Amino acid sequence: MNDIRALDRRHLWHPYTQAQTAPEPLEILSGRGATLYGADGKEYLDLVSSWWVNLHGHAHPAIVRAISEQAARLEQVIFADFTHAPAVELAARLVEKFGRLPGDKLSRVFYSDDGSTAVEVALKASLQYWRNVEGAATRRTRIVAFEGAYHGDTFGAMAAGARSGFFDAFGPKLFDVEFLPFPATFDGDAEVEQKERAALDALERLIARRGAELAAAIVEPLVQGASGMRFCRPRFLSAFAERLTASGALLICDEVMTGFGRTGTLFASEQAALSPDFMTLSKGLTGGYLPLSVTACKESIYQAFLGPSFSRALAHGHSFTANPLGCAAALGSLALFESERSLERVAKIERLHRERMARLAKLPRVTSPRVLGAIASFDVKTEGPGYDAAVGRALKERFYSRGLLIRPMGSNVYLLPPYCITDEELHRAYDALEEAMVEPCAS
- What x/- string results for residues 253 through 272 when contact with ligand PMP is judged by CB under 6 A? -x-xx---------------
Q: Dihedral angle at the C-alpha atoms of 426, 429, 435, 438, nearest 10 degrees?
A: -80
- C-alpha count within 13 angstroms, C-beta hemisphere, residue 415: 33
Stretch of residues binding ligand PMP (CB under 6 A), selected from 78-86, 218-226, 337-345, 391-399: 218-226
CA-to-CA separations, 233 to 1, 157, 192, in angstroms, rounded? 49, 24, 9
CA distance 427 to 406: 14
Comparing CB distances to ligand PMP, the nearer of 115 and 417 is: 115
| Of 54, 70, 116, 377, the one binding ligand PMP by CB under 6 A | 116
Q: Contacts for 365-372 with beta carbons within 8 Å, 24 or more apart?
A: 365/437, 365/438, 366/437, 368/186, 368/187, 368/189, 369/186, 369/187, 370/185, 370/186, 370/187, 370/229, 370/231, 371/187, 372/222, 372/223, 372/231, 372/263, 372/264
Q: Give the total residue count for the chain.
A: 443
What is the x/- site pattern for ligand PMP, positions 395-434, by CB under 6 A?
A: ----------------------------------------
Nearer to ligand PMP by Cβ, of 250 and 432: the residue is 250
Binding range to ligand PMP, per CB under 6 A, among 39-47, 149-157, 233-241, 315-323: 149-157
Query: Does 120 interact with ligand PMP (rule: CB under 6 A)?
Result: no
d(CA 154, CA 404): 31
| CB of 308 vs ligand PMP, minimal distance in Å | 35
Q: Is-contact 434 360, C-beta < 8 A? A: yes
x/- string (CB under 6 A) for ligand PMP, residues 235-254? Answer: -------------------x
Q: Cβ of residue 7: shortest distance to ligand PMP, in angstroms?
A: 25
The 3 state secondary structure assigned to 27-94 is: CEEEEEECEEEECCCCEEEECCHHHHCCCCCECCHHHHHHHHHHHHHCCCCCCCCCCCHHHHHHHHHH
150 binds ligand PMP (CB under 6 A): yes
Kindly tell me which residue out of 86, 183, 225, 259 binds ligand PMP, with binding defined by CB under 6 A. 225
Residue 384 makes CB contacts below 8 A (sequence gap 6+) with: none
Minimal distance in Å, beta carbon 54 to ligand PMP?
13
Give min distance, CB of 256 to ligand PMP, in A: 4
- Catalytic (active-site) positions: 16, 150, 254, 283
Tell me: does residue 388 bind ligand PMP (CB under 6 A).
Answer: no
The yes or no reply on residue 115 touching ligand PMP (CB under 6 A) is: yes
> Which CB atom, from 174 or from 361, has the smaller least distance to ligand PMP?
174
What is the C-alpha separation between 409 and 167, in angstroms, rounded? Answer: 16
115 vs 436 by CB, closer to ligand PMP: 115
How many other β-carbons are positioned within 10 Å of the β-carbon of residue 438? 11
**Does 226 help bind ligand PMP (rule: CB under 6 A)?**
yes
d(CA 222, CA 261): 12
Q: Binding marks (x or -) toward ligand PMP, 75..114, rule CB under 6 A?
A: ---------------------------------------x
Q: Are 240 and 249 in contact, with CB atoms under 8 Å apart?
A: no
Among 196, 220, 270, 379, binds ligand PMP (CB under 6 A): 220
Residues in the site for ligand PMP, rule: CB under 6 A? 114-116, 119, 150-152, 220, 225-226, 254, 256-257, 282
